[in-house]
Structure 1
Amino acid sequence: MTSNGSTNQTLCDPISRSSLPGFIFIYSLVFLAGMILNSFTLWFHFCRAEINNSKSWMIYLKNLTIADFLLCLGLPLRIADYAGSHDTVHQFYCTFGAAIFYLNMYTSILLMGYIAASRYMRIFQPSRASFLMTVPAARLISAITWGFFLLPIIVYIILTLDTSKPPPASTTCDVLLSGPAKLFYTVIHASAFVIFLLVLGSLVFFYYSTSRRVQQVQQRRLGSSNSNKLLKSRRNMLVLGGVFCVCFVPYHLVRLPYIVLRGQCSVVLYYLKEATVLISVFNICLDPLIYVFLCKDFRAQLNLLQMFSTPKDSSSISSEVM
Structure 2
Amino acid sequence: MRGNSSRTQLDNATLSLFQNVNTSSVISVIYMVVTVINLVGNGLSIWLLLFRTSPKTPSIIFMINLTLTDLALGSALPFQISYQLQGYNWTLGSKMCSFLTLVFYTNMYCSILTMMAIGIDRYLGIVKPMIFRKNKRRKSIAVFSCLLMWGLVLGVLYPLMTTDLTFDIPELGITTCFDVLKKSMLPTVGAWAAFLFTMVFVLFLLPFCVTMFCYVSVIYKLSSDCKTVQKDRAIRLAIVVLLVFVLCFAPNNILLLTHSILRLFYNKSLYMAYKLSLCFSCLNSCLDPFIYYFASKDFRQKLRQILNLHSLSSADSIRTENKETLYSG
TM superposition shift of 1:251: 1.3
| Cα pair distance change 1:152/1:242, threshold 3 Å | closer
Q: Which blocks of at least 5 consecutive residues in structure 1 are unaligned?
A: 1-5, 219-223, 309-315
**Amino acid of the structure 2 residue aligned with 1:108:** S
Instruction: Establish whether residue 72 from structure 1 lines up as the match of residue 74 from structure 2.
Output: yes
Instruction: Establish whether residue 208 from structure 1 lines up as the match of residue 226 from structure 2.
Output: no
Question: Identity of paired residues, percent?
Answer: 26
Look up the match of 1:179: 184
Q: Secondary structure at the match of 1:254?
A: helix
| Cα pair distance change 1:182/1:281, threshold 3 Å | farther
Look up the match of 2:9: 9
CA contact (8 A) 1:17 1:82 kept: no
Measured against aligned partners, the alpha-carbon deviations of 1:113-172 in whole angstroms (never above 9, x if no partner) come to: 0001110111111233543971111011111111222244445322x14x9x96333656
Counterpart CA distance in 1 for 2:121 and 2:139 is 11
What are the within-5 Å matches in structure 2 for residues 142-181 of structure 1?
A: 142-158=146-162, 160-161=163-164, 167-168=168-169, 169=174, 171=176, 173=178, 175=180, 177=182, 179-181=184-186
Measured against aligned partners, the alpha-carbon deviations of 1:299-318 in whole angstroms (never above 9, x if no partner) come to: 2222212229xxxxxxx89x
Counterpart CA distance in 2 for 1:139 and 1:209 is 25
CA contact (8 A) 2:252 2:281 kept: yes
CA contact (8 A) 1:68 1:104 kept: yes
CA contact (8 A) 1:24 1:79 kept: yes
**Amino acid of the structure 1 residue aligned with 2:218:** T
Look up the match of 1:313: none
Look up the match of 2:127: 124
| Cα pair distance change 1:62/1:117, threshold 3 Å | same
TM-score (normalizing by structure 2): 0.77
Counterpart CA distance in 2 for 1:133 and 1:124 is 19
| Cα pair distance change 1:233/1:26, threshold 3 Å | closer
TM-score (normalizing by structure 1): 0.79
Q: Secondary structure at the match of 1:30?
A: helix
| Cα pair distance change 1:47/1:208, threshold 3 Å | closer
CA contact (8 A) 2:218 2:234 kept: yes
Instruction: Establish whether residue 191 from structure 1 lines up as the match of residue 191 from structure 2.
Output: no
Look up the match of 2:106: 103
Q: Which blocks of at least 5 consecutive residues in structure 2 are unaligned?
A: 1-5, 318-329
| Cα pair distance change 1:147/1:136, threshold 3 Å | same
**Amino acid of the structure 1 residue aligned with 2:104:** F
Alpha-carbon RMSD across the aligned residues, in angstroms, is 3.1
Look up the match of 1:3: none
TM superposition shift of 1:185: 5.9
Q: Secondary structure at the match of 2:308?
A: helix
Counterpart CA distance in 2 for 1:18 and 1:77 is 19
CA contact (8 A) 1:18 1:83 kept: no
Q: Secondary structure at the match of 1:167?
A: strand
CA contact (8 A) 2:53 2:299 kept: no
Instruction: Establish whether residue 41 from structure 1 lines up as the match of residue 45 from structure 2.
Output: yes
Counterpart CA distance in 2 for 1:15 and 1:240 is 32
Instruction: Establish whether residue 256 from structure 1 lines up as the match of residue 263 from structure 2.
Output: no
Q: Secondary structure at the match of 1:188?
A: helix
CA contact (8 A) 2:39 2:71 kept: yes
Q: Which shifted more, 37-46 or 181-190?
A: 181-190
CA contact (8 A) 1:56 1:133 kept: no
Look up the match of 2:323: none
What are the within-5 Å matches in structure 2 for residues 274-289 of structure 1?
A: 274-289=275-290
**Amino acid of the structure 1 residue aligned with 2:240:** V
CA contact (8 A) 2:43 2:71 kept: yes
Look up the match of 2:86: 84
CA contact (8 A) 2:101 2:160 kept: no
Q: Secondary structure at the match of 2:54?
A: helix
Counterpart CA distance in 2 for 1:136 and 1:177 is 41
CA contact (8 A) 2:248 2:282 kept: yes
Counterpart CA distance in 1 for 2:233 and 2:136 is 22
Which one has more relative contact order, counting CA pairs under 8 Å at least 6 apart?
2
| Cα pair distance change 1:282/1:109, threshold 3 Å | same
Instruction: Establish whether residue 28 from structure 1 lines up as the match of residue 36 from structure 2.
Output: no
Measured against aligned partners, the alpha-carbon deviations of 1:76-128 in whole angstroms (never above 9, x if no partner) come to: 12112212364434745642221111111100100000001110111111233
